[in-house]
Amino acid sequence: MKTVIALLLILFVPAPSSQARGIPSSPREFLKNAETELRNEAENGQRAEWIMQNFITDDTTKLTADANAKLNDLSTRYARESRNYRGKSAEEKRKLDLLFNGLIVPAPKNAAKNAEMARLMSELGSMYGSGKACDSKGNCRDLQVLEEVLKTSRDPAVLLEAWNDWHGIAKPMKAKYERIIELGNEGARELGFKDLTEVWTSKYDMPSAEYEKSIDELWNQVKPLYEQLHCYMRAQLRKKYGESQVAATGPIPAHLLGNMWAQQWSNIPDIAGVEGGNATDLSRLLQKASYDSKKMVQTAEGFFTSLGMPALPKSFYERSLFEKPRDREVVCHASAWDIDSRDDVRIKMCIKPEEDDFRTIHHELGHIYYYLMYKDQPFLFQSGANDGFHEGLGDAIHLSLTDQYLKTIGLLKSIPAKKPGSDPDYLFKMALDKVAFLPFGLLVDKWRYQVFSGKTKPAEYNQAWWALREHYQGVKAPISRDADSFDPGAKYHVASFTPYSRYFIAHILQFQFHRALCKAAGHTGPLSECSIYGSKEAGARLMAMMKLGASKPWQEALFELTGEREMDAGAIRDYFAPLEAWLKTKNAGQTCGW
């Protein structure tokens, strides 16, 4: 979770008018007041949110709604008032732009509607965090349990039941979600935006239309690679489950891909044909070495300190949540928190000694170290250069978690020798995570843009969701879905109004970051074999970019690290080039596409 303005500006309650308060005469004074007030209220909001996600009750939900309401009161008010000023310096101009474009769901002026929005947003968060599927005997399963079923079972009936159970918890969210869209669009129009789509696409240092065009161009660069992976996996799933479950052509049923949202396929390496062989079983190594949650976090911290970054504050270990409590419900979705925009940083995660969690911890500490690197920037600059930078940095660290890294830290005794002509197991496992995600990362916000603009009506929410999933992912609903279903709400980021394009951007940037960092580290072999662990040169390049925060346009921050000013999907194609060639050979004779 970010404390910065861009991730928390959701709700607000009435505040004194600017006339009553008196408007500062200069942009400098205005910005000073804004940063002081917003920093204080952001901290209050973060503390309330932390408590609510760790102790989900009606009372904590109400307190969080009130805190978020007060924060967005300030945020929306300052966004409106920022239009009264013209910055005298480049710094003032950028701060004013960030104030105006930093909103996520701007609230309308009407006090009753503000309070309604605050209540609805908090209720959605609580509904997701406490969601359970219960049978007639009162036996209940939460998301963590149901996800485990999707990961481990190979019985299509069992998989379908788990998939359907979780997606059912979102149906009651639909009416609340619809109403929030109405209120958010009203607030957006009051600020001069056309709708929430324009709010969301206006924060990338380029016109909205240019931004959307650039995203589509990046997708077209990587689409051929995804199509080859999809083609191969469909054939493997058909071999496993038979033609009655998976047809030779067309989309893949969503419940068979090992993930609740079919967004990553790395939980079914056995079906993919990459279990064993040259692929390292990291989960087994962690369990064999008796890694507990704290040791996993400490190991990830060691990665960053090896690059020349400081040790984490003592309070990080005292205040973070690493394991799911037995006595209460918590939101287990992994998240990184910057509580006070200074040194109080934490993660909240229900950690298990498994490969996914090991990688996720390194990712979350990427956020944490980004917070710490830019903590000395003015408050309005305390965020990533764009919202894909935060995710991209954490994910770039994933790419350095190679066998060589595992050997260096003692988890792996020796690096297995590769057999000549063997399947590219490591690249395949990475592709099941990184490449499989790309269309899902793109389509979530494409669906929301249709909803925000009114192109997709409430009665069409679910139909439009699956139309986009079939178009981009080649994935379909495993059973018929009625119009009252709200399958998008079964995804945390939809229920929480967290923008999702950042994750697509991050999956492009991480390979671009990795390519540049490997060059700085002096690596000359295949990108898939590069780990920057221990490279002070790579660390220096990385920290130089991180310390900028949002003080410069993202193109300048990208140049600081990579020497390039445009996002380039060529790096991901370079990384997976051997796998793409292998897939084309394996797919010969197949009808690819859907």
Enclosing H/E stretch for 159: helix 156-168
For 155, other C-beta atoms within 10 Å of its C-beta total 10
Residue 68 lies in a domain: yes
Q: Which of 37, 493, 537, 556 is catalytic?
A: 493
230 shares its domain with 361: yes
Residues 180, 246: one domain? no
Residue 323 lies in a domain: no
- Structural domain includes residue 340: no
Residue recorded with tokens 């991730």: 7
Q: Comparing C-alpha atoms, which of 65, 79, 62, 84 is closest to residue 13?
A: 65
pLDDT at 275: 55
DSSP 312: P
Indicate whether 256 belongs to any domain.
yes
The reply to whether 187 and 245 lie within a common domain is no
Please write down the HEC assignment for all residues of 262-284. Answer: CCCCCCCHHHHCCCCCCCCCHHH
Clarify whether 37 is annotated catalytic: no
Q: State residue 425's pLDDT score.
A: 76
Q: What share of the chain is helix, strand, coil (3-state, %, to 5)?
A: 60, 5, 35
- Are residues 268 and 185 located together in one domain of the fold? no
DSSP string, 50-92: HHHHHS--HHHHHHHHHHHHHHHHHHHHHHHHHTT---SSHHH
> Are residue 538 and residue 443 in the same domain, yes or no?
yes
Domain identity same for 436 and 531: yes
Which helix (H) or strand (E) segment holds residue 510: the answer is helix 501-520
Both 188 and 234 in one domain: the answer is: no
Phi-psi region of 276 (alpha: psi -120 to 50; beta: other; left: phi over 0): left
Residue ending a domain, among 197, 231, 251, is 197
What's the one-letter identity of residue 316?
Answer: F
Distance CA 248, CA 243 (A): 7
DSSP of 199-239, one letter per residue? HHHS-SSS-HHHHHHHHHHHHHHHHHHHHHHHHHHHHHHHH
Q: Are residues 524 and 545 in the same domain?
A: yes
- For 345, phi and psi rounded to 5 degrees? -110, 150
Instruction: Indicate the residue among 197, 227, 253 that finishes a domain.
Output: 197
| 104 falls within a domain | yes
Q: What is the pLDDT along the chain (594 residues), one digit of tens a residue?
A: 443 333 334 333 333 334 345 677 799 999 999 999 999 999 999 999 999 888 888 898 889 888 887 887 788 889 889 988 998 999 999 999 999 888 889 888 888 998 899 889 889 988 998 899 998 888 999 998 999 999 999 999 999 999 999 999 999 999 999 999 999 999 999 989 999 999 999 889 998 889 999 999 999 999 999 999 999 999 999 999 999 999 999 999 999 999 999 999 999 988 988 754 456 788 999 999 999 999 999 999 999 999 999 999 999 999 999 988 888 878 888 899 999 999 999 999 999 999 889 999 999 999 999 999 999 999 999 999 998 999 899 999 989 999 899 999 999 988 876 654 455 677 898 899 999 999 999 999 999 999 999 999 999 999 999 999 999 999 999 999 988 999 999 999 999 999 999 999 999 999 999 999 999 999 998 898 999 999 999 999 999 999 999 999 999 999 999 999 999 999 999 999 999 999 999 999 999 999
Shared domain check, 190 and 208:
no
Domain count, the chain: 2
**Residue 148 placed within a domain:** no
Which residue is it, tokens 């190679």? 402
Q: Are 166 and 142 in contact (CB under 8 A)?
A: no
Pair of tokens at residue 280: 């390292």
Closest CA to 390 of 548, 263, 538: 548
CATH number at residue 221: 1.10.1370
364 in catalytic set: yes
Q: Which residues of 178-190 are buried (b: 16+ CB within 10 A; e: fewer)?
A: bebbebbbbbbee
Which residue has 């956020």 as its token pair? 367
Nearest-CA neighbor of 594 among 215, 228, 221, 220? 228
Residue 63's domain comprises: 5-127+175-197
Among the options 186, 212, 364, 391, which is catalytic? 364
| Residues 409 and 534 placed together within one structural domain of the fold | yes
What is the SS3 assignment for 337? strand
Residue 17 has a pLDDT of 39
Q: Nearest Cα to 365, choosing from 317, 314, 297?
A: 297
Does residue 152 fall inside a structural domain? no
For residues 477 and 496, membership in a common domain is answered with yes
Shared domain for 193 and 292, answered yes or no, is no
Distance CA 92, CA 96 (A): 6
Q: Would 218 be classed as within a structural domain?
A: yes
Q: Which of 400, 397, 363, 370 has the alpha carbon at shortest distance from 386? A: 370
Predicted pLDDT at 268: 93
